[in-house]
Amino acid sequence: MIRDIIVYPDNRLRKVSKDVLKFDTELHSLLDDMYETMIAKEGIGLAAIQIGIDKNILLINLADEEGRQNKEDLLEVINPKINRLEGSEIYQEGCLSIPGYYDDIKRAKQINVEYFDRFGKKIVRDLDGLLAIAMQHEMDHLKGHLFIEKLSYLKRKKFEKEWKKRLKAGK
Ligand code: Y12
Ligand code: CO
Along the 171 residues of the chain, how does pLDDT read in single tens digits? 999 999 999 999 999 999 999 999 999 999 999 999 999 999 999 999 999 999 999 999 999 999 999 999 999 999 999 999 999 999 999 999 999 999 999 999 999 999 999 999 999 999 999 999 999 999 999 999 999 999 999 999 999 999 999 999 997
Looking up residue 86, the CATH number of its domain turns out to be 3.90.45.10
Q: What is the pLDDT of residue 136?
A: 99
Beta-bridge partners for 162: none
What number does the ligand 1 atom closest to the CA of 41 have? 15
Rounded to two decimals, the pTM is: 0.98
Question: Exactly one of 76, 89, 138, 149 is catalytic; which is it?
Answer: 138
Kindly report the protein residue whose alpha carbon is nearest to atom 11 of ligand 1: 43
- Tell me how many domains the chain contains: 1
DSSP 8-state class, residue 2: P
- If one counts every other C-beta atom within 10 angstroms of the C-beta of residue 143, the result is 13
Range of the domain at 104: 11-169
Ligand 1 pocket test: pick from 2, 42, 139, 146 the residue with the most ligand atoms within 8 Å of its Cβ: 42
Rounded CA gap, 31 and 36, in Å? 9
**Is residue 40 a part of any domain in this protein?**
yes
Q: Which helix (H) or strand (E) holds 81?
A: strand 75-86
Catalytic site residue 149?
Answer: no
Q: What is the pLDDT of residue 171?
A: 78
* Centre of ligand 1 from the C-alpha of residue 42, in Å: 7
171, 98 Cβ separation under 8 angstroms: no
101, 167 Cβ separation under 8 angstroms: no
